[in-house]
Structures are given as structure tokens and as C-alpha cells.
Amino acid sequence: MTPWTHSLAAGLDRALQPPAVRRAGRAARELAGLLLPVDCAVCGLRDGAVCPECAGQLAGALLRPFRAERDAAALPLVSAGPDAGPVPLAVVAAGRYDGSLARALLAFKDHGRTPVGRHLRPAVHRALAAVPALVTERPPGGPGVAPALLVPVPGSAAGFRRRGYDPVAELLTGPLPPGWELAPWLLRPARRRAGPGAGLGRGSSSASHAGTAATLRRRRSTGRFRATDPARFPGSRSVVLFDDVMTTGSTLAAAWHALDRVGRRPVAAVVLAAVTAPGARPSGGLNSP
């Protein structure tokens, strides 16, 4: 991308992302969904963003938030206390990424079906409200988990231009549960730069010699995001990350490292949907002892 096209793209992003512009765009998309009948985003057969039958299935899939970090092998390892070894960052998920939730989220995130969001936002709020009960660990010498600053994982500028909206921001519209404060300005996408590990292929000898889990974890988790000046962090409240989908946990790890570099280490994360191992229970998975 040439300098002038990069400047033009950055200018368009700044013009399209103010809250008032996003609200107007959301209202226009939802009005179009009402005026132009569409097939259900889940079953594809009945009319409506999500038909009543599928809405019931979707609500049932999102009733019970759960701890999801054990199936995410790329999450950062954090201290569990002076007498315990490192454990994966605590993650609370509203539901499992399969069935009706996977289809609804795919339509919402990649097919422009933003009216589906009204069926997903209550589950996000339910997961946030469940954090104090599900995440009981307190970092040594640090604040508790809630109340907390909720920091959304930012999408790329290219993704925003392609969709015309940010799915993560859409999920966080409306009031949050008591004690939570949304802080979207604390994390930004970083410009891509070639680093020491750039260009290493899967069969590279350097990668094979340095291919420990810790080395690969750090390589996947650096340089994707940048945090704002620590002085902009209000008070000493805990920081909790939020993303729409967690698969391996590498995106959350990148956001965690960016905030850790400025001294504001997130104590947990919340996601709408988590990919879990087939047949795995909430207490088992790839990161299990």
C-alpha cells in the first residue's frame, strides 16, 4: 500500500468509526432487515433474522457461561500464586462455538446480519455478570476481577472497511452489568512490521531448533496490538479482555501481551463463544495438567 492510499484508508476509518456514525449505520441495517424479509440466520428456512424456533435453541445454548481456557493452547500462562505453577489466563465463555450459536455468529460476523446481534448481546451480559463467581482467583498483590475495565480486542482496519462495522463493538452496545466500564480506547491494532521471526516457514531449521511451546507461544502473541499510554488507565481497576470467538487463544494472548507491556496485565477474558475439544467437559482440555 502506497503512503497516500494508506492515509486515505486511515482517514476513512476515522470518519466511519465515531459512535454516532456507527449508531446510524446500525439503525439503517436493522431497518433494512425489517423492510426486506430475509431467511433465518440459523436454519435458513423461515423468515426473520432469527426465527422464533431457532431463537429458543440459541437462547438455550447460551444459558450457562463456563470456564473455557483449558481448550485454548495458545493462551498466556499466568501465575496462580506463590505455591502454584503457571496456569492459562482465565476465560469465561457465554457458549460453545457449535450448532445454532456457530451459525448465528457466522452470519452476524461475516455475512452482515447485524440484527442477529440482539439475540447474542444478552448472553454477553450474562457472561460478564458471571465473572465474579466463575473467576475466583485474585492475582498476588493485585486487584480482584470485578468491578473491572472491559477492553475489547480491536479488529483490523481492513476488516472494518470490508464489513462496515466492528462485530466486537456491536456485541457491547447497550449498558453493561453493574461494576463494568467499557474502555475501547486502551487497545489498538498495531501496524504490521517484519520482526526477527518473520519469514520462518513451518520447515525452517530456526523454528525447529527454537520450537518449544513457550517460544512458539511468544512468537504468535507479539506485535498485533498496541496499548495506549498507561496514564490513560483510570485508577487501579482490574482489566478484562473481551472478544467474540476464541479458538486457540492466540488473539487474546496478543492483546494480553500488549497490555502487559505497559504494566496493565489483564486478569481474565470473556468471549461470546469458545471452540472446545469434541466431547470435552469444561474441566478438561489441551491445557489440563
Give per-residue pLDDT as tens, 168-197.
999 998 889 888 999 988 899 887 654 444
Q: pLDDT digits over 24-83, tens only?
A: 655 655 555 555 557 899 998 877 789 999 999 999 999 999 999 988 999 999 987 777
- Does residue 200 fall inside a structural domain? no
Q: For residue 125, what are the domain limits?
A: 17-193+211-274
Which residues are registered as beta bridge partners of 271? 93, 243
Within-domain flag for 10: no
**Domains in the chain: how many in total?**
1
Position 283 in a domain:
no
Whether the per-residue pLDDT at 253 is higher than 90: the answer is: yes
Given a cut of 60, is residue 99 above it in pLDDT? yes
Note whether residue 289 is domain-resident. Answer: no
Give the pLDDT score at 284.
Answer: 40
**pLDDT tier at 111 (50, 70, 90 boundaries)?**
confident
Q: Is the dihedral of CA 13, 14, 19, 25 positive or negative?
A: negative
Is residue 45 a part of any domain in this protein?
Answer: yes
Q: What is the pLDDT of residues 132-169, one digit of tens each?
A: 889 875 544 444 565 689 999 998 888 888 888 899 99
Of 12-16, 147-151, 179-183, 279-283, the one with minimum mean pLDDT is 12-16
Q: Would you say residue 281 lies in a domain?
A: no
pLDDT at site 233: 66
Distance separating alpha carbons of residues 171 and 271, to the nearest angstrom: 10
pLDDT of 48:
77
On whether residue 122 sits in a domain, the answer given is: yes
More confident residue, 22 or 205: 22
Q: How far is it, in rounded angstroms, from Cα 99 to Cα 114?
A: 19
pLDDT for 285 beyond 60: no
Hey, what's the torsion of the CAs at 11, 256, 69, 87, to 10 degrees?
170
| Within-domain flag for 1 | no
> What does the alpha-carbon distance between residue 69 and residue 249 come to, in Å, rounded to a whole number?
8
Of the pLDDT bands very low, low, confident and very high (cuts 50, 70, 90), residue 203 is: very low
pLDDT of residue 110 exceeding 80, the answer is: yes
Q: What is the pLDDT of residue 71?
A: 85
Residue type, 68: A
Q: What pLDDT band is residue 215 in, cutting at 50, 70 and 90?
A: very low
Greater pLDDT, 14 or 152: 152
Residue 121, pLDDT score? 96
Query: To the nearest whole number, what is the mean pLDDT of the chain?
Result: 77
